[in-house]
Structure 1
Amino acid sequence: MLTIHFVEHLNNTKHPYSIYLNSAFLIHMTFEQKYPFTFQFFASYFPEADLDGLTDQEVVHQFTQQNPPEVIQQTLDELHLLINDNSSWPEALSTANRYFPNNSEIQSWLEMIKNQLIERTS
């Protein structure tokens, strides 16, 4: 779903994942639209992992065992971007069924997932 917001002043600042129409309308992209591979990874592997007794590291291992290198690389590329896009963190964590009390812990978790993917693909 795209959300359209009217923007009165852009102040020459553009969000990298927003589309500007006639400098007056801003279309905001969702987490799924910005990061489709990471969305699929988070939505498919993390929500039920706790019920299955899997650690996040084991989830990453399953993902790397069940997906081709191209999908893993695309997911890794998106994670690099997501780590610097904290406006997408709430939706990303909701998708993964994860909760952290502060941004520092969220960033640490995302970095850990990224590093696990790198380690598993090296």
Structure 2
Amino acid sequence: MPLNSAYENLYSFLAAEFADADLEGKSDQQVVHNCPTPELVNWHRTILTEGRTALHSSSFPWQKVADYANRHFENEEDVREWLTQILNLLEESVNKI
């Protein structure tokens, strides 16, 4: 999938951090708490901005979010809830740096 979109950083983050997390035996919470580093703080802030923008978009790309994160969701609302939780955890982790 090409990443040329308004949510390129978000999609890259989801694919890099979540796509294989289940295979590695990591929970979503473990993934998020382990990824922020001082070197990546600005990138993670960009991801937070893109993620919040996507959540407030009338054309929320819920299927792409699910695909990049390699997660199965029943509907858009489930994706919104999951992404909100992930962004909140990421923000909490970034703020601790």
Looking at secondary structure, tell me which structure has more helix per residue. 2
Give the aligned length. 94
Kept in 2: contact 1:31–1:91 (CA 8 A) = no
RMSD between superposed Cα atoms in Å = 2.0
Q: How does 1:8-19 map to 2 (within 5 A)?
A: none
Report deviation, 1:84. Answer: 2.1
Counterpart in 1 of 2:75?
102
Report deviation, 1:68. Answer: 1.6
Match of 2:17 among 42, 45, 48: 45
Identity %: 30
Gaps of 5+ in 2: none
Gaps of 5+ in 1: 2-29
Question: Bigger radius of gyration, 1 or 2?
Answer: 1
Q: Which moved more, 1:77-86 or 1:48-57?
A: 77-86
- CA 1:81/1:93 → structure 2, altered by over 3 Å: closer, same or farther? same
Looking at secondary structure, tell me which structure has more strand per residue. 1
Report deviation, 1:63. Answer: 2.1
